[in-house]
Amino acid sequence: MSFKVLILDNVNERCEEVFKERGVEVVRNHDLSGQELYDEIKSYHGIVVRSSTKVTEEVLEAGENLKIVGRAGVGVDNIDIEAATKRGILVMNTPNGNTISTAEHTCGMILALTHNIPQAVDKVKGGGWDRKKYMGNEVYNKTLGIVGLGKIGSEVTQRMQHFNMNIKAYDPFASVEQAERLGVELVELDELLGTSDFLTVHTPLTEKTKGMVSMENADKLKKGIFLINCARGGIYKEEDLPALIDEGYVAGVALDVYTTEPPTDELYEILQHPKIITTPHLGASTDEAQEKVAEQIAAQMADALEKKDFEGSLNGKSISLTTNKEVQPYLELAQKLGSIAIQLAPEHANEFSFEYSGACAKFSDVLTDSILKGLLSHHVSEAVNLINARHYAEERGLNIRETTASQSETFNDLITIRLKEDGEYQKISATVFGEKDYRIVEIDGFGIELGLEGDILMYKNVDKPGMLAKVSYALAKQEINIASLSLGRTMKGTNAITAVSVDKKMTEEELQPLYDLEDIHALQYISLPSNQD
């Protein structure tokens, strides 16, 4: 299949080059919005964005053929990941391509801020000369507080240590080993605010980080602190910044990012403050970073479109496992088993347990997604895939229990689905022989061997002579050929289970004479796709 990708933001030309090298058709069309964007996006399998294009639910809905949204950069707050996940659209980013540039930009902002460089530049360019007004402060021997000791926070640490700064950090998810390795003291947030001469934030904007510094907690700040934000607008409460400076809590602020970009008129007003220095979201804007993220996103998206690799994917957590050769045979088995289980289940069944034993158990996460894909495909009109299967399961209130055992008593690998609702069928187990020979091996305690493809009639009957003849006669009368047959029973003369594969899809009308047969009950007609090549 050939793929088409649309580049929507100002992404480096290496993106197009890499797509073309990979045989992906690529079109560049910047600054589309509204109806124009909805119309244009329809035929594409992938879109590439930076932070400008807002990939909203409406955009995703308009993208009828969309499989991947690629972010040439880190932050995905402009992409509605939940809506993408629901639609089975993969979202991926390039988590480290712009780390160095943003760390360098942050260091530049720290020095520019404390040495009043932007204001002094303005003065001189305006034909002025004022050496006293722009008296600065050294960073030497001062304390730099870092909120978020992730990729950028760590790189800023290493660079500013060379300026002889003492680094402290607050990051509830950072390990003590990581902090020790970096020579950083991990402290609580209040201590960081109260002891830092400079504070720089390197976290996403979340409920926890939003408004981390504001007038409300001004008393916690070390007097005369410098604030730097090259992460996301809103971590410092923008409207409070002028007052924080004017009342002496804060000595100056450096901002690269804003709650609205470009800023609103009100925000521009705030940014006029002489002690606030600003750049227009330039952290990642270097040739080197842009080349890296452009190449990375194109290669990642091409890999994902070809289902070779899913590096950088942010939703559908198990999808990256699907490229693992070891898991591949079980994926189709799980999907087929899900499909057969729901066809055997009573209406409104919503409680299932999935049991994995043997070598497949270590892949239980992705196999559950695959079972759900098979199971939900019969219920949900939208296309269900490994990315959105759990979303639909939750939406439909399915109650799933998962158990694993490293060994199976009977087969190398066994996947079992138990239906919790009362119904004619309660338990179904399957395995795979070799790479593609999928078999049901047990139903409700009856040992049986049934290939998992095509059209199957399944029923329970009294174990006595003539039962099979009745069924084959009813089929023959309608010129329906039997392809294969499988019988299972627990004890002679009691109950038995029979599965008959037929050579054609059957209609309700054709099934009716079979439902009417005496001593045959729980008759179910199951249709499964053929094994994939």
Ligand X SMILES: O=C(O)[C@H](O)COP(=O)(O)O
Which residues are the active-site residues?
232, 261, 281
Q: Count CB atoms within 10 A of the CB of residue 147.
A: 23
- Of 284, 393, 496, 520, the one binding ligand X by CB under 6 A: 284
Mask of contacts with ligand X, 243-282, x by CB under 6 A? --------------------------------------x-
d(CA 421, CA 460): 18
The label of the residue with tokens 């020579």 reads 183
- Of 204, 234, 451, 513, the one binding ligand NAD by CB under 6 A: 204
Options 206-214, 301-309, 396-404, 462-470: segment touching ligand NAD (CB under 6 A): 206-214
Three-class SS of residue 14?
helix
- The separation between CA 469 and the C-alpha centre of its own chain, rounded to angstroms, equals 53
Which one of ligand NAD, ligand X, none is in contact with 50 (Cβ closer than 5 to 8 A by kind)?
Answer: ligand X
285 binds ligand X (CB under 6 A): yes
Q: Which is closer to ligand X, CB of 26 or CB of 48?
A: 48
List of residues 6+ apart from 71 with CB closer than 8 A:
48, 49, 50, 79, 91, 92, 93, 94, 297
The least distance separating ligand X from the CB of residue 230, rounded to whole angstroms, comes to: 8
Q: Which is closer to ligand X, CB of 26 or CB of 284?
A: 284
255 binds ligand NAD (CB under 6 A): no
The label of the residue with tokens 């109806």 reads 35
d(CA 373, CA 375): 5
Q: Which is closer to ligand NAD, CB of 88 or CB of 153?
A: 153
- Of 69, 241, 257, 276, the one binding ligand NAD by CB under 6 A: 257
The encoded tokens of residue 111 equal 């020095």
151 binds ligand NAD (CB under 6 A): yes
Mask of contacts with ligand X, 60-89, x by CB under 6 A? -------------xxx--------------
- Of 14, 45, 50, 373, the one binding ligand X by CB under 6 A: 50
d(CA 426, CA 120): 78
d(CA 231, CA 267): 17
203 binds ligand X (CB under 6 A): no
Residue 76 DSSP class: -
Q: What are the residue ranges of helices labelled H in 57-184?
A: 57-62, 81-86, 99-114, 117-125, 151-161, 176-182
Q: Which is closer to ligand X, CB of 290 or CB of 368?
A: 290
In 196-235, DSSP assigns E strands to 198-201, 225-229
- Of 12, 85, 98, 203, the one binding ligand X by CB under 6 A: 98
98 binds ligand NAD (CB under 6 A): yes
List of residues 6+ apart from 104 with CB closer than 8 A:
159, 286
Which one of ligand X, ligand NAD, none is in contact with 99 (Cβ closer than 5 to 8 A by kind)?
Answer: ligand NAD
The least distance separating ligand X from the CB of residue 100, rounded to whole angstroms, comes to: 12
Options 113-121, 224-232, 293-301, 352-360: segment touching ligand NAD (CB under 6 A): 224-232
Q: Tell which residue, 239, 240, 202, has the closest CA to residue 221.
A: 240
Q: Count CB atoms within 10 A of the CB of residue 73.
A: 26
Number of helices (H), then strands (E), belonging to the chain: the values are 17, 22
Count residues near ligand X (CB under 6 A): 10
Q: Are 487 and 501 in contact (CB under 8 A)?
A: no
d(CA 92, CA 81): 10
Q: What are the residues binding ligand X (CB under 6 A)?
A: 50-51, 73-75, 98, 281, 283-285
Where on the chain is the footprint of ligand NAD (CB under 6 A)? 74-75, 98-99, 102, 147-153, 170-174, 202-204, 206, 208-209, 230-232, 256-257, 281, 283-284
